[in-house]
């Protein structure tokens, strides 16, 4: 490794190391080794080849010096050629070992990245909904990318670097001291000039890089939000493109200015260190030449010392920054383990059961529930706050009890924030109750397997979320093994087959982010088609027509009638006219059931339901009236 390359490597290590101080933890080391265990054979070969490569790196300068001595002594051409061939063979072997070592390094590193990413991804998949409602997506993605890659470096770059550099340093120092301890000592005295500026400059450049990274993160967040369909609409509706452009340009110019400063400081630093290395070589040649002319040193030894000097500074500099690199890797591991240590609130029991076959009943038995506080479901670093919000744990459902018989439809109505959606989320076990029980066919959902609950309970939400993928893939999310005929059948039953058939790409048409290429009614009917494909025995409709116009609502209602046929249903209704035929209507206020009965019974009771119904009826009547005409307009007419 040349002096300039060594300088760049040292500077890079200092710049990108985590600026954190924490005690070494044996528990962290043990967990790291558990991830390393599947790669132990490759790691052993990796360390062995690193040692062999270090030995070859020291052998070449010694042989080069020997060649010079043989030339000066006028030895046979055959010996000089033989030594040259040996040097060439060592170079070839070193290149081969380097390639093999690089392959092992890549295999171990990429294997570890795969292992860590899949472990973290699978763990996050098991986290409760409350985790995702609090966590910033960008921070979570960073754990799966930046921190995982940072942890991977501990196995590849740092491990091989410490081992090979330590061996190279010991061998090089031994040989150099054997040749001339005076020159070796003087060369070592120049080391602080090489190392300490790297640390000082590295910290300064690290601060600049972090500042640039912060600005880049803000720009990325701005682009992510503004380039989404919803964000772009919001910007255009409020006429803010110019202001958005100005804010973006300010940050972009700041990043440019920092980039210029980074480039200049880096180049000044590298130029200075290259000059130091050149002065060190001049010292070796000058002092070595002086000793050689006085017959106190062989000419070949001078050449060997000069070549060995280049092999000395590289491992010394690398080892000087090794502690920082190790701590940086440990920080990355700790950040990954921090996520893995966040225990899911909802897990299957060891003896979890399947939902019993046949029609399914749904029962709420004196259910009390409070949303979990932040410290139970989240991390301050993932929310990007200094400390977690300690609020939470306030009860939102108070003694909810009702039963839906197989095949019946029960509707939930009430004011916004009364607890209707919370009740709906407890059936598929998105949350666990604090007291009481939610039962499917008489079995507590906490005793059931999660997969069985997902196959039994189907949900259609009011936003009709779709992935940025084709219609086919969005449908197959419900049942990946579904056939082409089954896909068209559910589209027909959801009143979407004609529309999809008219599209140029048919089922392979990409719906856009969150399905924005479809209208609200089309998007909602596609989610209903997905539910029909899943064939659940229990259907939950969470205000599935709340934001649709009359035409779209009529089409969706037809699809919903198909979806609800023969199934146990829990319906959250915004428009009360859509639930007149419900077997039972529950009026929810402040987390309690204040009324229950059929549509006719509740109207006759003259309570809260009658108030809600009359309010909607009066509003609908007002909407149907023609706009009032002013006196001036009447006169003009």
> In this predicted model, which residue has the larger pLDDT, 10 or 103?
103
The pLDDT value recorded for residue 629 is 39
Instruction: Write out the residue range of the structural domain in which residue 534 sits.
Output: 362-376+392-623
User: Do 400 and 516 sit in the same domain of this protein?
Assistant: yes
User: Do 427 and 311 sit in the same domain of this protein?
Assistant: no
For residue 486, give the CATH number of its domain.
3.40.50.300
User: Do 617 and 533 sit in the same domain of this protein?
Assistant: yes
The pLDDT value recorded for residue 355 is 92
Q: Indicate if the pLDDT at residue 15 is higher than 70.
A: no
User: Do 187 and 143 sit in the same domain of this protein?
Assistant: yes
Residue 565 in any domain: the answer is yes
Q: pLDDT tens digits for 504-546? A: 888 888 887 767 778 777 888 888 888 888 888 999 988 766 5
Residue 454 in any domain: the answer is yes
Q: How far apart are CA 353 and CA 339, in angstroms?
A: 29
Average pLDDT taken over every residue of the chain: 78
- DSSP secondary structure of 199-226: HHHHHHHHHHHHHHHHHHHHHHHHHHHH
Residue 450 in any domain: the answer is yes
**Confidence label for 549 from pLDDT (cuts 50, 70 and 90):** low
Residue 249 in any domain: the answer is no
User: Do 368 and 333 sit in the same domain of this protein?
Assistant: no
Residue 488 in any domain: the answer is yes
User: Do 314 and 405 sit in the same domain of this protein?
Assistant: no
User: Do 321 and 366 sit in the same domain of this protein?
Assistant: no
Which of 134, 213, 22 lies closest to 377, judged by CA?
134
Other Cβ atoms closer than 10 A to 608: 17
For residue 155, give the CATH number of its domain.
1.20.1560.10
Dihedral Cα 201, 204, 206, 208, nearest 10 deg: -130
**Confidence label for 404 from pLDDT (cuts 50, 70 and 90):** very high
User: Do 307 and 407 sit in the same domain of this protein?
Assistant: no
- DSSP secondary structure of 496-519: -HHHHHHSTTGGG-B--GGGTTS-
Q: How far apart are CA 305 and CA 289, in angstroms?
A: 11
Residue 267 in any domain: the answer is no
Residue 19 in any domain: the answer is yes
Which of 557, 564, 562 lies closest to 578, judged by CA?
557
Residue 70 in any domain: the answer is yes
User: Do 332 and 367 sit in the same domain of this protein?
Assistant: no
User: Do 415 and 333 sit in the same domain of this protein?
Assistant: no
User: Do 489 and 527 sit in the same domain of this protein?
Assistant: yes
Q: Indicate if the pLDDT at residue 259 is higher than 70.
A: yes
**Dihedral (CA of 21, 25, 30, 31) sign:** negative
Q: CA dist 192 to 143, 175, 287, 610, Å?
A: 36, 21, 20, 85
> What global pTM score does this model have?
0.66
Question: Phi, psi (5° rounding) for residue 22?
Answer: -150, 150
User: Do 329 and 401 sit in the same domain of this protein?
Assistant: no
Angle, helices 40-73 vs 299-320, to 10°: value is 160
Number of domains in the chain: 2
């Amino acid at each position: 490794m040349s002096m300039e390359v060594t300088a760049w490597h040292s500077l890079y290590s200092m710049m990108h190391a985590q600026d954190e101080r924490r005690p070494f933890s044996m528990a962290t080391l043990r967990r790291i080794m558990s991830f390393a265990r599947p790669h132990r054979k490759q790691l052993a070969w990796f360390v062995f080849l690193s040692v062999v490569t270090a030995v070859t790196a020291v052998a070449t300068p010694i042989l080069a010096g020997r060649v010079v001595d043989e030339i000066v002594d006028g030895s046979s051409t055959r010996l000089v050629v033989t030594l040259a061939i040996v040097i060439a063979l060592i170079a070839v072997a070193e290149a081969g070992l380097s390639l093999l070592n690089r392959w092992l390094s890549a295999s171990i590193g990429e294997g570890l990245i795969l292992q860590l990413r899949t472990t973290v991804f699978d763990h996050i998949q098991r986290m409760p909904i409350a985790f995702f409602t609090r966590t910033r997506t960008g921070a979570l993605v960073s754990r799966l990318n930046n921190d995982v890659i940072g942890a991977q470096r501990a196995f590849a770059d740092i491990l091989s670097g410490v081992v090979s550099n330590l061996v190279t340093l010991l061998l090089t120092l031994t040989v150099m001291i054997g040749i001339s301890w005076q020159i070796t000592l003087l060369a070592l005295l120049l080391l602080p000039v090489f190392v300490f500026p790297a640390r000082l400059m590295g910290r300064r450049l690290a601060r600049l890089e972090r500042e640039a990274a912060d600005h880049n993160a803000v720009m990325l967040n701005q682009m992510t939000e503004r380039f989404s369909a919803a964000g772009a609409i919001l910007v255009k509706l409020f006429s803010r493109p110019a202001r958005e452009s100005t804010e973006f340009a300010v940050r972009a110019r700041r990043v440019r200015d920092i980039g210029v400063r980074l480039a200049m400081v880096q180049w000044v630093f590298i130029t200075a260190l290259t000059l130091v290395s050149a002065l060190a070589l001049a010292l070796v040649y000058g002092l070595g030449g002086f000793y050689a002319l006085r017959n106190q040193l062989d000419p070949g030894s001078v050449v060997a010392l000069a070549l060995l000097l280049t092999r000395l500074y590289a491992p010394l500099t690398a080892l000087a920054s090794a502690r920082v690199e190790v701590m940086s890797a440990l920080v990355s591991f700790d950040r990954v383990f921090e996520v893995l240590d966040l225990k899911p609130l909802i897990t299957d029991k060891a003896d979890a059961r399947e939902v019993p076959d046949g029609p399914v009943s749904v029962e709420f038995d004196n259910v009390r529930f409070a949303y979990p506080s932040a410290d139970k479901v989240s991390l301050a670093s993932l929310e990007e706050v200094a400390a977690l919000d300690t609020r939470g744990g306030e009860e939102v459902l108070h003694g909810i009890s009702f039963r839906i018989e197989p095949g019946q439809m029960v509707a939930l109505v009430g004011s916004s924030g009364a607890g209707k959606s919370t009740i709906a989320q407890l059936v598929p076990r998105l949350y666990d109750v604090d007291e009481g029980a939610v039962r499917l066919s008489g079995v507590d959902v906490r005793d059931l397997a999660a997969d069985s609950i997902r196959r039994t309970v189907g949900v259609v939400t009011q936003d009709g979320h779709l992935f940025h993928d084709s219609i086919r893939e969005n449908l197959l999310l419900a049942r990946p093994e579904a056939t082409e005929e089954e896909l068209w059948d559910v589209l027909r039953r959801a009143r979407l087959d004609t529309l999809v058939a008219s599209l140029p790409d048919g089922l392979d048409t990409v719906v856009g982010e969150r399905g924005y290429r479809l209208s609200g009614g089309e998007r909602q009917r596609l989610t209903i088609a997905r539910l029909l494909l899943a064939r659940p025995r229990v259907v939950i409709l969470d205000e599935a027509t709340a934001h649709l116009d009359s035409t779209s609502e009529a089409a969706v209602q037809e699809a919903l009638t198909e979806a609800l046929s023969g199934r146990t249903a829990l319906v959250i209704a915004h428009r009360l006219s859509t639930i007149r035929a419900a077997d039972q209507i529950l009026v929810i206020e402040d987390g309690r059931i204040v009324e229950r009965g059929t549509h006719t019974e509740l109207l006759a009771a003259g309570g809260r339901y009658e108030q809600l119904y009359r309010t909607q009826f009066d509003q609908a009547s007002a909407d149907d009236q023609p706009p009032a005409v002013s006196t001036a307009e009447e006169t003009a007419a």
